[in-house]
Amino acid sequence: MFNNLSKIMFISIMMLGSLVTISSNSWLSAWMGLEINLLSFIPLMSDNNDLMSTEASLKYFLVQAMASSILLFSVILLMMSMKIMLMNSYINMIILSSLMLKLGMAPFHFWFPNIMENLSWMNCLLLLTWQKIAPIMLISHLYMNMKNLLFISIILSVIIGSLGGLNQSSLRKLMTFSSINHMGWMLMALYINELIWLIYFMIYMFLSFMLIFMFNIFKIFHINQMFSVIFNSKILKFILLMNFLSLGGLPPFLGFLPKWLIIQELSMNNEYFMIFILMMFSLITLYFYLRICYSSFMLNYFENNWMNKMYLNSKNYMIMLIMSFFSLFSLIFISIMYFML
């Protein structure tokens, strides 16, 4: 990722574009920030040695350009029809739909798994985390007026994100559908309280970085590779699979904390139907995480003799251990501190 100066420049411009969108006070400047972000992310996606990544960057550009054109068109309509309140609601719906298309949320998720499948792990990490910040911040200006559409998208994202990951053998597609499911939870957190959304997003970004960091070191892209490459080290096996369960939101791991906060706030607001939907389909996501963990822990797999050497240097090994410690035990320490205070 950081092997030359041009990529560092493009990453800096990409982050600058997101910051322009977040700090803008008009829709036009927000659109400009999104375009700066898009045009600087495209060169990061394409790789001269990999034709699939070039194809993915072209698909990503077409989808994002379509969403940006819809956003610009609806913003111009909004400026022209400020006095007609009935028309404003339809235009806000179009704006919200274009932002959901940029995020890859259901029912606009059709492009997300195919593009993720053809990217490197570091580009996948950027697409799963940083590229979601600016559209979500724009959605936060609209969600109070578009409650029904927001709730429909939350329910569809949770359902599709959980059911879509059931039959996947590719880890990149598994992370994609997990991201779609988490996006439903994040928009629900945004509807409740922006602080809860911030906590959720930071924890999700930390756990995604932890998993993708390990996948990238061992060059793991499919589930069957995990059994032959990494599992000669029982500590690494435990770390990776517990981080999987933490991302799924299983207590007592860190990933359960933001879901706990959302369920608590929803129960205080008597939103019992949304609690039921979110919890039921979160259990399905836990099922396909547990399926991987159970088969790797309980079943015996043959290991090749040349796999017995240690793949990690001490620096990467210590990073994994320290970050996994926070991932696995932070919720316990937070609960103890909460009850002590």
Model confidence over 100-122: pLDDT tens digits? 999 998 888 889 999 999 898 99
- Give me 159's structure tokens: 């359902």
Q: What is the mean pLDDT of residues 265-272?
A: 91
The DSSP code for 315 is: H
| Cβ atoms within 10 Å, residue 291 | 12
What pLDDT sits at residue 49?
73
CA atoms within 13 A on the CB side of 61: 15
Tally of domains within the chain: 1
Q: Quick one: pLDDT band at residue 307, thresholds 50, 70, 90?
A: very low
146-202 pLDDT, tens digit each:
788 889 999 999 999 999 988 888 999 999 999 999 999 999 999 888 899 999 999
By percentage, how much of the chain surpasses pLDDT 90? 44
Evaluate the CA torsion angle 140, 144, 146, 151 in order and state its sign: positive
pTM of the model: 0.89
Backbone CA torsion sign across 58, 187, 96, 80: negative
Structural domain including 120 reads 5-340
